[in-house]
Amino acid sequence: MIIRLVSAALVAGFLAAVVATGLQFALTSPLILKAEVYEEQDAKHTALEALPFAGLIVHAHGGENHEHGAAAEWQPAPGFERMAYTGLATLVGGVGYALLLGAVMLALRREPTPEAGLAVGIAGFLTVALAPAMGLPPELPGMGSAALGVRQAWWVMTALATGIGIYLIAVRRVALSIAGGLVLIVAPQLVGAPIVIEESRLPAALAAQFAARSLGISLVFWAVIGLAYGWAWHLFGERAEARRSHA
């Protein structure tokens, strides 16, 4: 059972990663490159303003600013290296989410079919993508935001509350549980996400376009995970049955 679950998750995660990575390169990567131009302009402007007061020495190397004596933060080089790391991160996330999807289906005692996988995949999208994005939309480089720890805490709270709420509504299906599920889903949004408003040169239309495209890709990503997991589960099951029949 465990081997079958892991095998199906590997297949589903790989297929979802291939689809999502292709969409990212086509739809969101160009927006990130545009945003990085604004981010570099803001960094140069901030460094030049701070120079007379903070005694900083700014060196320009290939369009990047560095404080004197400070180690440059590592990041993938543009081009193939960045594409490779993006694809690898998407693959790891895809396999992890596929394992989670499979575990949830087994815990709910649902037979992993493509149809059931799609339903659970949509629930996963609502839980870890759409609900948190209502308070913390996907961000481009250069956008102002609250401290990372505070944002992570709100994200975890929102994902847990939304996931439990969906379970109470879609699985329990009684009046009291439906009411409780709705309260859980709405509560994090009423509390509000931690947001720090900072001045940025990034156009609002660019940020909105990036958030919309990112959520669209996430929806496709989760749908492929669900469909592929259900298909792979039955594929490995049929192969196991064939081996047993020939033994």
Distance CA 96, CA 92 (A): 6
Distance CA 119, CA 239 (A): 25
99-132 pLDDT tens trace: 999 999 999 999 999 999 999 999 999 999 999 9
Distance CA 155, CA 159 (A): 6
Residue 58: phi, psi to the nearest 5? -105, 130
Q: Is residue 178 part of a domain?
A: no
Q: Is residue 12 part of a domain?
A: yes
Where do we find the tokens 């505070």?
150
Give burial (CB, 10 Å; 0-12/13-18/19+) of 71: exposed
Mean pLDDT of the chain: 85
Cα 229-235-241 angle, rounded to 5 deg: 135
198-246 pLDDT tens trace: 666 788 899 999 999 999 999 999 999 999 999 999 999 887 777 777 7
Q: How many CB atoms are closer than 10 A to CB 33?
A: 12
Count the domains in the chain.
Answer: 1
**Domain carrying residue 34:** 2-144+198-246
Q: Is residue 186 part of a domain?
A: no
94-104 pLDDT tens trace: 999 999 999 99
Highest mean pLDDT of the ranges 37-51, 60-74, 150-164, 230-244: 150-164
The string of DSSP codes covering 131-159 is: HHHTTS----TT-----HHHHHHHHHHHH
N residues, the chain: 247
